[in-house]
Structure 1
């Protein structure tokens, strides 16, 4: 029997070989976000990205399948807490997400910690069903591989 209760929080801790100011900027600068967000096989067209990184501000963009452009997912999140170079917290209401009830509210918390010139990022997102948590984890880890490449450039 499948777990249909959305009670699981996704938690990922990842160290990036870049100062936290650069990692934070990759999340808040539309040009950079368009270069790394989305798992391999998906891209974010720059003209879909709009970010206003302040309390009450927003993060909006569309992730599109490279193989089937008709397959896309829109993100429309609102920031509830913002501390420059340290913290981004927000909520997003699900719209058209396969396997997720319309109107489901997800939270996202991204912490940026300095680790001797590198950045320890702690990401929390949910609630998810166990199945959706696994898919979200895979998506973030694939995206973070693309972010590693961007930060190394």
Structure 2
């Protein structure tokens, strides 16, 4: 549910929330480190078949994770997380956008009506040595049309995140 603050600012609409959850056979601290350490992120973040370059990672409110991804065919794209809150090792709140090489937000490469930014909350809980990660994402400062496009993209986002989180699971299995 949206907090009163989020509703007041108009930044959060429950009907537009994309939520995905996955459990990893790894302790919460390791999963958290895998999200915030450049050398770990480079091992798993992004679409399958892309090589990740970490251009900046400043783990503090207002700091950014700016990254580039390169496909085997040479296609390149960039993204950026702007951190809002960090509560190690249980929560990261950020604003995510596609970006240019300099880190400026840019429109989705294949959708003119995709929201320019999304507001993301990633939470980690641990039980019996396993970590459950929940990612909640909603359009940020978006029009009604952008919210609708975002909702229509849920299935594609689910497939993409499942593949990315599969890479995270493989990484975690290798480093434990």
TM-score band w.r.t. shorter chain: 0.7 to 0.9
Q: Does 1:69 align with 2:90?
A: no
Q: Which runs of at least 4 in structure 1 moved beyond 6 Å after TM superposition?
A: none
> Which among 80, 85, 98 is matched to residue 81 of structure 1?
85
**Conserved? CA contact 1:73–1:96, under 8 Å:** no
* 3-state SS, counterpart of residue 56 of structure 1: coil
Where does the alignment leave 5 or more consecutive residues of structure 2 unmatched? 1-14, 99-105, 140-148
Structure-2-length-normalised TM-score: 0.74
RMSD: 1.9
- Return the offset for 1:103: 6.8
**Conserved? CA contact 2:21–2:133, under 8 Å:** yes
The aligned runs of 1:1-153 (5 Å cut-off) are 8-45=16-53, 48-66=54-72, 68-70=73-75, 72-94=76-98, 95-97=106-108, 98-101=110-113, 104-127=116-139, 129-153=150-174
User: Could you say if the C-alpha distance between residues 120 and 43 of structure 1 is closer, same or farther in structure 2, counting changes exceeding 3 Å?
Assistant: same
Where does the alignment leave 5 or more consecutive residues of structure 1 unmatched? 1-6
* Equivalences, count: 143
- Hey, what's the Cα distance between the residues in 2 that align with 1:102 and 1:118? 34
**Conserved? CA contact 2:115–2:150, under 8 Å:** no
- Return the offset for 1:100: 4.1
Structure-1-length-normalised TM-score: 0.84
**Conserved? CA contact 2:50–2:70, under 8 Å:** yes
- Hey, what's the Cα distance between the residues in 2 that align with 1:21 and 1:125? 22
Greater Cα shift, 33-42 or 125-134: 125-134
Bigger CA radius of gyration: 2
